[in-house]
A and B are shown apart, each in its own frame.
Chain A
Amino acid sequence: MTETVLSGTGLEKRFGGTVALAGVDLSIRRGETIAIMGPSGSGKSTLLHCLAGIMRPDRGEVTLLGQRVDTQSEAQRSRLRRSRFGFLFQFGQLLPELTAEENVALPLLLDGTPKPKALPPARSWFGPLGLAGLERRRPGELSGGEAQRVALARALVTGPAVVFADEPTGALDQANGAETMRILVEATKGQDSCLVLVTHDASVAAHCDRKVEVRDGRLVVDAGPGAAKPELPQRAGAW
């Protein structure tokens, strides 16, 4: 059986009186691509934040390769996010001061790799992602799709265990979005990383091996090769 890379067990999270997660169990195996879907306010982004160590769940456990994440300090989780995870957001994640290649090299630089050593691995992503020749451009000189692929290169450059993507195609047109998703899934699988994708767009989710749906803070559908048994709603009419 394929190794479990990331798992969340019994995850609960409240914001004041609002329940964002009401006990979610989710395991992700090596090389797996998983789409977390659900309507606005369903708790899908909160689930991604808890799994990625951005926020701590009120209850439950998050483990990465058997190691607890949720009990770590903010500094430790920051380091973990920097070194073991990659992130891709909707837009606006590139530093406008840096060139495309420097933006890609940033996680390596932050981890102490000197610039001359950090740039070659960063550059190596430009060809495969269709960005050859754009290495020295600034984010303002890139199209939306190009900027998103540069961000993807940055997410992948450390060889992360898991790539988290939050509506990565939300700011792109359909053709660009589909292309970006194809590259995202290929590149992630290409280096045996997992992909955890949050989207409300079924056509985007279709690129993933497995789809889970979150409603009212619960996992209500889990479909695909690695699916776990879906949890039954405890309250009738919850969805």
Chain B
Amino acid sequence: MNAVTLAWTLLRGGGRKGMLGSVLTLAAVGVTTTLLMFAVAGNFAFADRAERTAWRTPVPAGQVETARQLSVLDMVDGRPMTVVYLTATGSGAPPVPPGMDGFPAPGELWASPELAALLERLPADQLADRFDAPVTGELGDAALVHGNELVAVVGVASDSPVLSARPLDGETVVGISEFGTDAASETYRLYQSFMAVATVLMVVPLLVFGGAAARLTVARRDQRLASLRLVGATPGQVVRVTVAEAILTALVGAVAGAILYTAVMPLLARIPIDGGPWFVADLWPPLWATGAVIVAVPLLVGLSAVVGLRRVVISPLGVARRQTPPGIRAARLLVLVAFVGAFLFMSSRFLGMGALGSLLMLVLLAGVFGAINLVGPWVVSLLGRVTALAARRPAPLLAGRRLVDDPRSAWRTVAGIALTGFVAGFTVLLSPQLTGYAEDRTLLTVSVPTTQVEAVTASVATVLPDGAKVTGTNEVEGVSLVDVETPVDSAAIDRFRTEVAQIAPGSPTMGTDDWVRFDDQLFTDVKTGVLVVLCVSILIAMVSAAVSGASSVLDRRQVYGLLHLSGTPMKVLNSARRMETLLPLAVMGGGSLACGMLMAMPFSSGGEIAGNLALLFTVVGFGVVGVVGASAVSRPLLASVMRNTPPRPD
């Protein structure tokens, strides 16, 4: 009988208890795979989006200019709108923009579906008149970052005034021969680096946890495998059987996880980043990445099974000797204190230090992050010691001792929540600065040829509400920057933008509030990201709690069974198990949340954070209930172990 056949026989013959273990392993591996795929896919999704922004940044032609391109950022209805002006030079075939059938002829307007809808909805003097052309066609997805994006591609004649515009964002007309593919927008480069950090946050605990799932398989098999050793199986054979069984289970789990990921993709696509949901196709990682995840997860589980099996292989009796573990050094705490102290000391000085200040702040933040991970097991161990010492009843005594015995395992369960909790605590207090220029007034800046300043001044009087006035004009080389202060009235401002677009096409009006809005968007996205990572961490913690709960029951099935026979009520053991999960979760999760909030306090503007806090605490509340609930999943297992264990082991 080869290893796989024997493993299959053991798997099938495991009975109901064995089956429960297998199902738990399978579910754990499945959820791990789903979340792993999400973490991996996130990177590809951002890369896809970044790639689709690249064509908007003109790349100067190497030799022959076949077209000229000007990309500007405009605003309408309080939302950003990208406008790409194109004209063919006539010297060769111009490149076809993504999402379009051909190069736009002069007078053509190609609009994203969302923009087309807005053109229909808004009066022409607020939007449509800026283009002076009916919609020729809709831009395909290849041209858009997301479905809600406002994008226009406008074909202009080679002598159009647009091509001599001097827009405020510093863009200029560029001669091109093809559309760029590399130069993703800076914003998306930033998003991609955030996603990389989020990936580390999600993948590291997932990998550690995926390994822990293998323990379940080993835990319920070690006795049987020890028997195999007793009847003369070689260590190699025992390892092969167990690894084969673990990999078999994990492979099924990994495939199920990938299928589950496909099923939840439409839901995940709804997570709004950069003002819009995702195209579902963005969230599907390349085939090789999917394959790599499906292969890597079972291999990892198999590897962990080998490690977990050492004790069985070493001793045919399969006896685990439990002794008081060596303590973890308190010096770890000093590292954390040092980083937090340095951060707080520097917090008021970062802003004055420019780029160096930002870098230093990131380094110190990363340091705090690493130190929390370092100090985690020590705190869990300390927590266990204090709980056991102060315990007057068996449940806290047991819970405390379990924490002291294996603080790393308890930390693994809550590490993700604690680390993300720190970031969540930090970001929750930072509220977007919704206050721009003033509460009810805003400052608009127009960049027009000096000859048009009068026309703009006339528009201020006719289009903008009463009280609007030109506050200053600066002229540089025939181009004037006109500052206009106006009461906030969205429709009137859109009408003003539209009039200015007709006076000086290609140079959109921008307001101080618009720039603030871009920063706010990034900030909102960071918060969304943190919340998503927090939810993932909670899910990991839930599955981890379920798995470690089940494997600890299986590890101790003999003693639990005998305790039941001696009259020990199950509720004592359940209460100990609950405390064992809840204590580190509350102290570490809550502690790092509070630590993050403490560190953000110097930067907090104070306002607008009530909603953020409420959302965060709701998520955390659900998380706590979820994790405690997940650890209760093994209750039926405990019940069956307690009721069915014979006084003598079989």
Answer yes or no: do A and B interact. Answer: yes
Is A172 on the interface with B (CB-CB < 8 A)?
Answer: no
Across the interface, do B398 and A79 meet the contact criterion of CB distance under 8 Å? no
Across the interface, do A166 and B394 meet the contact criterion of CB distance under 8 Å? no
Query: Chain B, 620-650, contact with A by CB distance < 8 Å: what is the 0/1 string?
Result: 0000000000000000000000000011110
Stretch among B127-135, B198-206, B446-454, B565-573 lining the A interface: B565-573
Cα distance A112–B649 in the bound complex, in angstroms? 30
Given A93-B559, A140-B323, A141-B323; A114-B392 close (CB under 8 Å): yes
Is A134 on the interface with B (CB-CB < 8 A)?
Answer: no
Cα distance A112–B567 in the bound complex, in angstroms? 14
Cβ-closest 9 pairs across A and B: A81-B567, A82-B567, A140-B322, A97-B401, A96-B322, A114-B392, A140-B321, A92-B558, A93-B562
Is A187 on the interface with B (CB-CB < 8 A)?
Answer: no
Please classify the interface of chain B as helix (H, G, I), strand (E, B), loop, or mixed, using the class held by over half of its residues: loop
Across the interface, do B398 and A98 meet the contact criterion of CB distance under 8 Å? yes
Across the interface, do A79 and B559 meet the contact criterion of CB distance under 8 Å? no
Is A132 on the interface with B (CB-CB < 8 A)?
Answer: no
- Complex: chain B residue closest to A108, CB-CB: B394
* A4 CB → nearest B CB, Å: 22
Query: Chain B, 570-581, contact with A by CB distance < 8 Å: what is the 0/1 string?
Result: 001000000000
- Complex: chain A residue closest to B400, CB-CB: A97
Stretch among A18-26, A28-36, A83-91 lining the B interface: A83-91
* A83 CB → nearest B CB, Å: 8
User: Residues of A within 8 Å of B, CB-based: how many?
Assistant: 41
Is A170 on the interface with B (CB-CB < 8 A)?
Answer: yes
Which chain A residues border B572 with CB–CB below 8 Å? 110
Across the interface, do B559 and A92 meet the contact criterion of CB distance under 8 Å? yes
Across the interface, do A95 and B648 meet the contact criterion of CB distance under 8 Å? no
Q: Which single member of B392, B556, B564, B568 contacts A115 (CB below 8 Å)? A: B392
Is A216 on the interface with B (CB-CB < 8 A)?
Answer: no
- Complex: chain B residue closest to A94, CB-CB: B559
Which chain A residues border B402 with CB–CB below 8 Å? 97
Which chain B residues border A106 with CB–CB below 8 Å? 394, 568
- B171-190 contacts to A (CB < 8 Å): none
Cα distance A110–B566 in the bound complex, in angstroms? 11
Given contacts A96-B405, A141-B321, 7 further A-B pairs with CB under 8 A are A77-B567, A82-B567, A89-B562, A95-B398, A107-B566, A140-B320, A166-B647
Which chain B residues border A139 with CB–CB below 8 Å? 322
Across the interface, do B567 and A89 meet the contact criterion of CB distance under 8 Å? no
- B545-572 contacts to A (CB < 8 Å): 556, 558-559, 562-569, 572
Is A78 on the interface with B (CB-CB < 8 A)?
Answer: yes
Is B61 on the interface with A (CB-CB < 8 A)?
Answer: no
Which chain A residues border B91 with CB–CB below 8 Å? none
Which chain B residues border A167 with CB–CB below 8 Å? 648
* B568 CB → nearest A CB, Å: 6
Across the interface, do B558 and A95 meet the contact criterion of CB distance under 8 Å? no
* B83 CB → nearest A CB, Å: 68
Which chain B residues border A155 with CB–CB below 8 Å? 566
Which chain B residues border A141 with CB–CB below 8 Å? 321, 323-324
- Complex: chain B residue closest to A155, CB-CB: B566
Q: Which single member of A45, A79, A81, A83 contacts B647 (CB below 8 Å)? A: A45
Provide a sorted-by-A list of 7 A–B residue pairs whose CB atoms are within 8 angstroms: A49-B647, A79-B567, A87-B566, A92-B562, A94-B559, A98-B397, A115-B397
Is B264 on the interface with A (CB-CB < 8 A)?
Answer: no
Which chain A residues border B392 with CB–CB below 8 Å? 114-116
- B375-414 contacts to A (CB < 8 Å): 391-394, 397-398, 401-402, 405
Which chain B residues border A86 with CB–CB below 8 Å? 566
Cα distance A45–B391 in the bound complex, in angstroms? 36
Cα distance A85–B566 in the bound complex, in angstroms? 8
